[in-house]
């Protein structure tokens, strides 16, 4: 480290240099909401993006706000680089979240619903039902809804019930006496999750091409059927969001799977963190509900419409309107695979780089399926962080295990909100005879690796896949990720060592090509950044380009500030959270931060270091966050060979740095803004044109 770097260290502890993580995450939600608000986005996709913002905000409250409330409750003092006190942060989050929610419902009610109606896609409110529709809905209520509803009056024998996380509920105000002669003034009702939140009317009663009705509207209209002889004074929908972070002490649990299964049962009953009520809910009702959930007024969100916007995501799937969604495309296939049925033969000749979703995920799936059938394949090892329940990869691994091959799967049981799916997959694999490991105590196994060992003549040959994204066929259609398939002996040997470490828990062995968290990746990144700083001070070419989902690790940010001070050009593509402030005179004026938000979720991680004309280029499963670099098992792999280097540099970095359509630029005040469109063609469109089939 140079003397000038030492001199700048004290300045770099100033809280004013850092953006709060939670507020940065809310800024990302606003950028996604802007896609929904944009008239350039196809209409049904605008509704889909609106639903995404609602779902992401739910998770933000379940995890981040819940954790913040726990800190305040217990008096914990978290050391945040931004220095914002916890209570002040809670206030800021509440204000900004309510502004987001106001925009969400304004967009739904004032823009999307009228625009959909013009396209004969109508969400019918109760006053809009005609007699035929009302009769059909009454019959639907009697057949499909009424039999599974359980209203509960509120009286000394029936205290206020526990309310499940994020479920639709109703507070009902009553007049009259029940069948036992008791005067009842209120009751509550929950809508079972088995009920669809949006119901499509059949053609015989529809007045438009596609007519829909909210479940909440149907229950509101016919709720009197549940209380015969009583008068309904009011029916008000509400929803409570609870702390959903799982509290499992890895080192104290004798069996991590059993401990997680027990904790999953309690997820629906964590402490309340947010209450949503419909806008016509009387003040005394919302105050009563706040008291029951032990919440403050700032935790109340008053909404004009359904209390769970994310459930509207079914509408685009129920409507057949190709003109109102993004154009379809067929993912491309590398030319090297055309006419070749044996993927092992191809990999013996060359590496394969797959870029999803522009290129198909199927070649990788077919490779694992081929390995499961191939009698020469002796061993398959794979990490699984997230995958779908009916994954073709799981079926291939089960087939391989039943065929007597050595199959090892490292499943991360603690992949948030996928815990139950991963537990179920682990059971299926074990029943088939596969060896299942749950990773490392205290460290999530987030690396994406597959190793196949094949007997070829007298030799054992290793093949590897390394990726930046999960082994999830559905996500591969909408998440941008790189996957490298190779028989390179150095990389294959390293992957073998990492798998050995994950299952045998021996000390980390020295790797020849890969960088690995939590052992070498963090320190290597710091060394690479510092080398660029040193080169800039010596007048040598110096540049850092990186694409990540999030940037919040303090030492990395400080190293980037020092690089900027030395004159290094630093250009960062950070999709979501970014705690670094670019453009600060004397600190970060040489740093640009941009976020790309578009049709596909930008997910790959790519790092480039100029290295005085001998550039280094890596792909990784790791973001530049504390958890990825210090508390997870991650892999980072070099891109070798001129062809692959050119591809990853352009497809993973350069095309995004040239994008003036989807890019949001972060300024020193922590605000994002879009520049006027100059190119007219987005990075994602250019990649579709270059890689997808016509």
Catalytic residues: 446
Residue 97: which of 298, 279, 290 has the closest Cα? Answer: 298
**Total Cβ atoms within 10 A of residue 657:** 17
First to last CA, the chain: 51
- Whether 457 contacts 438, CB under 8 Å: no
| Strands 616-620, 605-609: pairing kind | antiparallel
159-187 per-residue burial string, b: 16 or more CB within 10 A, e: under 16:
eeeebbbbebbbbbbbeeebeeeeebebb
Q: Where are the beta strands (DSSP E) in 58-185?
A: 121-123, 152-153, 169-175
The side-by-side arrangement of strands in the sheet containing 231-242 is 152-153, 186-190, 169-175, 231-242, 272-278, 300-303
Whose structure tokens read 């890019």? 663
Give the span between the Cα atoms of 365 and 373, in whole angstroms.
13
Q: Where are the beta strands (DSSP E) in 284-425?
A: 300-303, 352-356, 377-384, 406-411
Is the bond preceding residue 518 a cis peptide, omega within 30 degrees?
yes
Whose structure tokens read 């109340």? 300
- Whether 569 contacts 544, CB under 8 Å: yes
Residues paired with residue 18 on neighbouring β-strands, in sequence order: 580
**Total Cβ atoms within 10 A of residue 9:** 12
For the CA atoms of the chain, what is the radius of gyration? 27
**Total Cβ atoms within 10 A of residue 225:** 14
Q: What are the distances in angstroms from CA 199 to CA 67, 203, 212, 216, 293?
A: 36, 13, 6, 10, 30
Helices (H) and strands (E) in the chain, counts: 22, 27
Element (H, E) at 643: helix 642-649
Using CA of residue 408, residue 414, residue 418, residue 421, what is the dihedral sign? positive
Residue 379: which of 359, 365, 357, 397 has the closest Cα? Answer: 397
In the structure encoding, which two tokens stand for residue 308, read together?
């769970």
Residues paired with residue 31 on neighbouring β-strands, in sequence order: none
Residues 6 or more apart whose Cβ sits within 8 Å of residue 64 = 21, 22, 25
Residue 624: which of 545, 562, 531, 556 has the closest Cα? Answer: 556
φ, ψ (nearest 5 deg) of residue 225: -65, -20
290-303 per-residue burial string, b: 16 or more CB within 10 A, e: under 16:
bebbebeeebbbbb
- Whether 235 contacts 343, CB under 8 Å: no
576-591 per-residue burial string, b: 16 or more CB within 10 A, e: under 16:
bbbbbbbbbeebbebb
């Amino acid at each position: 480290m140079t003397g000038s770097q030492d001199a700048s260290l004290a300045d770099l502890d100033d809280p004013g240099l850092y953006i709060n993580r939670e507020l940065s995450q809310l800024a990302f939600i606003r950028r996604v909401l802007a896609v929904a608000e944009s008239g350039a986005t196809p209409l049904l996709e605008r509704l889909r993006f609106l639903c995404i913002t609602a779902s992401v905000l739910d998770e933000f409250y379940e995890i981040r706000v819940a954790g913040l409330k726990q800190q305040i409750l217990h008096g914990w003092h978290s050391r945040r680089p931004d220095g914002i006190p916890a209570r002040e942060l809670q206030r800021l989050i509440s204000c900004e979240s309510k502004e987001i929610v106001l925009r969400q419902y304004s967009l739904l009610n004032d823009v999307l619903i009228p625009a959909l109606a013009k396209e004969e896609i109508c969400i019918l409110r109760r006053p809009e039902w005609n007699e035929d529709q009302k009769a059909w809905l009454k019959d639907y209520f009697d057949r499909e809804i009424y039999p599974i509803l359980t209203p509960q009056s509120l009286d000394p024998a029936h205290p206020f019930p526990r309310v499940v996380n994020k479920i639709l509920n109703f507070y009902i105000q009553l007049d009259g006496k029940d069948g036992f002669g008791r005067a009842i003034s209120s009751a509550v009702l929950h809508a079972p999750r088995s009920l669809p939140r949006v119901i499509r009317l059949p053609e015989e009663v529809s007045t438009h091409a596609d007519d829909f009705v909210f479940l909440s509207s149907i229950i509101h209209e016919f709720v009197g059927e549940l209380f015969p002889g009583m008068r309904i004074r009011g029916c008000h929908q509400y929803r409570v969001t609870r702390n959903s972070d799982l509290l499992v002490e890895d080192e104290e649990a004798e069996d991590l799977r059993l401990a997680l299964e027990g904790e999953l049962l309690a997820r629906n009953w964590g402490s309340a963190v947010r209450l949503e009520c419909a806008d016509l809910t009387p003040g005394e009702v919302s105050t009563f509900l706040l008291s029951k959930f032990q919440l403050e007024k700032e935790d109340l969100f008053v909404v004009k419409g359904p209390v769970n916007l994310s459930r509207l995501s079914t509408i685009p799937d129920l409507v057949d309107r190709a003109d109102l969604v993004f154009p379809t495309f067929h993912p491309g296939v590398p030319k090297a695979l055309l006419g070749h049925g044996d993927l092992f033969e191809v990999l013996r000749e060359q590496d394969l780089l797959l870029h999803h979703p522009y290129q198909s995920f199927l070649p990788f799936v077919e490779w694992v399926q081929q390995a499961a059938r191939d009698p020469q394949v002796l061993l398959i090892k794979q990490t699984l962080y997230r995958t779908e329940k009916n994954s073709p990869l799981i079926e291939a691994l089960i087939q391989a295990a039943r065929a007597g091959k050595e199959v090892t799967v490292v499943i991360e049981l603690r992949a948030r909100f996928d815990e139950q799916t991963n537990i179920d997959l682990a059971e299926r694999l074990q029943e088939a005879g596969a060896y299942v490991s749950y990773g490392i105590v205290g460290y999530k196994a987030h690396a994406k690796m597959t190793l196949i060992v094949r007997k070829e003549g007298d030799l054992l040959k290793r093949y590897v896949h390394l990726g930046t994204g999960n082994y999830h066929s559905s996500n591969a259609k909408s998440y941008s990720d790189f996957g490298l398939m190779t028989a390179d002996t150095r990389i294959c040997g390293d992957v073998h060592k990492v798998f050995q470490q994950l299952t045998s828990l021996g000390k980390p062995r020295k790797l020849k090509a890969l960088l690995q968290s939590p052992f070498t990746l963090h320190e290597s990144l710091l060394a690479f950044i510092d080398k660029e700083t040193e080169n800039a001070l010596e007048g040598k070419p110096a540049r850092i380009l990186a694409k990540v989902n999030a940037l919040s690790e303090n030492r990395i940010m400080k190293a980037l500030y020092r690089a900027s001070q030395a004159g290094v050009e630093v250009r960062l593509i950070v999709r979501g959270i970014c705690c670094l402030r670019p453009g600060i005179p004397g600190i970060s004026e040489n740093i640009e931060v941009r976020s790309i938000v578009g049709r596909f979720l930008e997910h790959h991680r790519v790092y480039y270091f100029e290295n005085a004309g001998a550039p280094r280029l890596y792909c990784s499963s790791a973001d530049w966050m504390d958890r990825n670099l210090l508390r997870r098992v991650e892999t980072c792999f070099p891109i070798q060979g001129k062809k692959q280097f050119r591809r990853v540099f352009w497809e993973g970095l350069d095309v995004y740095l040239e994008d003036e359509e989807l890019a949001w630029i972060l300024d020193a005040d922590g605000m994002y803004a879009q520049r006027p469109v100059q190119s007219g063609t987005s990075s994602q469109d250019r990649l579709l044109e270059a890689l997808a089939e016509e």
